[in-house]
Structure 1
Amino acid sequence: MHARAVAATTSALLGTAAFLLPTSTARAGSTGEPPVILAHRGASAYAPENTLAAVDKAAEQGIQWVENDVQRTKDGELVVLHDDNLMRTTDVEQVFPGRAPWKVKDFTAAEIARLDAGSWFGPEYAGARVPTLERYLHRVERNHQKLLLEIKNPVLYPGIERQTLKVLGNEGWLDREHVAGRLIVQSFGADTLRTVRDLKPAVRTGFLGTPNVAELPAYAEFADQINPAHGSISTGYVAAVHAFTGPHGASLEVFTWTVDTAADARRVAGYGVDGIITNKPDVVRDAVQGG
């Protein structure tokens, strides 16, 4: 997730929210409970992002929810990787020196499986691999965790929504238990979320960004969550989101990102967010839930 994708400025949002809702005291989420903590790309401050090691590190810290990103290879395999190229988090430039600009979509799954996705983070993670979505789901399931799955760059991968849902279904993630409480699909693309809802109406969805309050009724037709960058929100904005009912009959939720300090965690918890996405889930958990 990148801050540049946030759709509107804080000042505009606050002005609109003030007209829609009366002033109210801050609350901890739409349910009155402390916000849930979600490990951003796994516990990515402590292990290489989007790897199985990062999932396991989150589990070691007692974190139930992990967030991940999905891209698609040249031969149609879904892999868990944030960037649309392989340069930042693998040794692709050394392994395939003549293949610039090293886009995920230009490499087969077998080629990507050869890459070291851990050494950049630290020598103890040398040899970590870019996991396929199937392997990632297996690890999350083994750890009895829950998944916030982001479909990345959907314009680069036509049909990725249907393919992602197919993999989720094949791996048992579209049964009643998972859909009811262990899976959310999110994206910066509104059309992607509409497609997910059309294909699998039971799946909960989250829109990444900060839509203007006046636009929220339209988003509430296909999104169960509005998931903005933490610097773009306020108590008024969160309350405005909570005032709308999503497609599954519940109040819209707010999962905010990417919060890595105790001070910021306490601030957004005071706004009443329902979830906090963080690279440092232990720090945020201790700040808002008391350990």
Structure 2
Amino acid sequence: MHARAVAASTAALLGTAALLFPSPARAGDHGASPLVIAHRGASAYAPENTLAAVDKAAELGIAWVENDVQRTRDGELVVVHDDSLRRTTDAEEVFPDRAPWKVKDFTAAEIARLDAGSWFGPAYAGARVPTLRQFVDRVEHHHQKLLLEIKNPQLYPGIERQTLKLLSNEGWLDAPHLADRLVVQSFSPDSVRTVHELRPGVKTGFLGTPGVADLAAYAAFADQINPSHGSLSLGYVSAVHAFRGPHGRPLEVCTWTVDDAATAQRVAGYGVDGIITNKPDVVRDAVGG
């Protein structure tokens, strides 16, 4: 009852705010299509989270890319998904005595030696794990937009502040970027809340599917609720959209990870605002995003 009451009062009391903060077009509104977001870059076609994957997304004409940030032993922010380097690099061969090859146990220089492309295919042999600075510079080079996930924040105390500082230094916290080119997300609500408290102008997303009764609390610090596609329904997307986030706009829904046309069309029918995918061309062709 509390969540429904909050939603009703929000709709009733924020009519003026709706004029001041117009919401973005939704998939279900006036024929608009959801955003298509390249998961770890165009990771079906190039090794995930590498500069090559960003380049491939740009080649495909995809405006939004998603990536993951973690931290090395000596404090460098690097772009890699797993907390271990084993799956996507040759760390096991280069450093055979360093199991379980955790990102946090290696220096930036050591990680820079690793091959992050050969596992995917010989054409990408020698690709490197990029630093976050290198990654955002490549995204900027292509005039793309960034959905940045803070990965495993419990392993890296203070990573939110450090990430925001780097983004600021690289020009990503100016008005144009904050307006429509950057979202910072995490599976950790505490991490998302910290980002919001440190830099309230930054658009944020929570990865997961909170209960409807909890959405009012998340709306205090998150602009997006980003669930897995298998957890979605039309009713849930509508419930999320009924709340307004910290910037006065209706909460958005970006769902993951959708790689086939049928699923893309299904979630687009629910009215999601974005679809995160390893195959952005397939999803774009399916939903017109």
Q: Same fold (TM over 0.5)?
A: yes
Rounded Cα–Cα distance in structure 2 between residues aligned with 1:231 and 1:139: 32
1:30/1:253 contact within 8 Å kept: no
1:30/1:242 contact within 8 Å kept: no
Rounded Cα–Cα distance in structure 1 between residues aligned with 2:235 and 2:49: 33
What does residue range 122-271 of structure 1 map to in structure 2 within 5 Å? 122-271=121-270
Shift of 1:31: 7.9
Shift of 1:80: 0.1
1:71/1:152 contact within 8 Å kept: yes
Q: Which residue of 2 aligns with 1:47?
A: 46
Q: Runs ≥4 in structure 1, deviation > 4 angstroms?
A: 29-32
Rounded Cα–Cα distance in structure 1 between residues aligned with 2:221 and 2:28: 20
TM-score (norm 1): 0.90
Rounded Cα–Cα distance in structure 2 between residues aligned with 1:30 and 1:166: 36
1:118 maps onto 2:100 in alignment = no
**Aligned pair in 2 of structure 1 residues 29, 142: CA closer, same or farther (>3 Å)?**
farther
**Aligned pair in 2 of structure 1 residues 274, 174: CA closer, same or farther (>3 Å)?**
same
Rounded Cα–Cα distance in structure 2 between residues aligned with 1:244 and 1:105: 37
Q: Helix, strand or coil for the counterpart of 2:149? A: strand
* AA of the residue aligned to 1:103: K
Across the aligned residues of Structure 1 and Structure 2, the Cα RMSD in angstroms comes to 1.5
Gaps in structure 1 of 5+ consecutive residues: 1-15, 22-26
Rounded Cα–Cα distance in structure 2 between residues aligned with 1:231 and 1:193: 23
Q: Which residue of 2 aligns with 1:60?
A: 59
Shift of 1:33: 1.8
Deviations 1:108-140 (A, max 9, x none): 000000000000000000000000000001000
Q: Which residue of 1 aligns with 2:14?
A: none
Q: Helix, strand or coil for the counterpart of 2:115? A: coil
**Aligned pair in 2 of structure 1 residues 29, 256: CA closer, same or farther (>3 Å)?**
farther
Percent identity between matched residues is 77
Rounded Cα–Cα distance in structure 2 between residues aligned with 1:207 and 1:31: 27
TM-score (norm 2): 0.90
1:70/1:80 contact within 8 Å kept: yes
Shift of 1:28: 1.7
What does residue range 272-287 of structure 1 map to in structure 2 within 5 Å? 272-287=271-286
Deviations 1:147-202 (A, max 9, x none): 00000000000000000000000000000000111000000011111110111000
Q: Which residue of 1 aligns with 2:15?
A: none
Shift of 1:30: 6.6
Q: Helix, strand or coil for the counterpart of 2:58? A: helix
1:228/1:257 contact within 8 Å kept: yes
Shift of 1:29: 4.8
* AA of the residue aligned to 1:188: F
* AA of the residue aligned to 1:207: F
Q: Helix, strand or coil for the counterpart of 1:167? A: helix
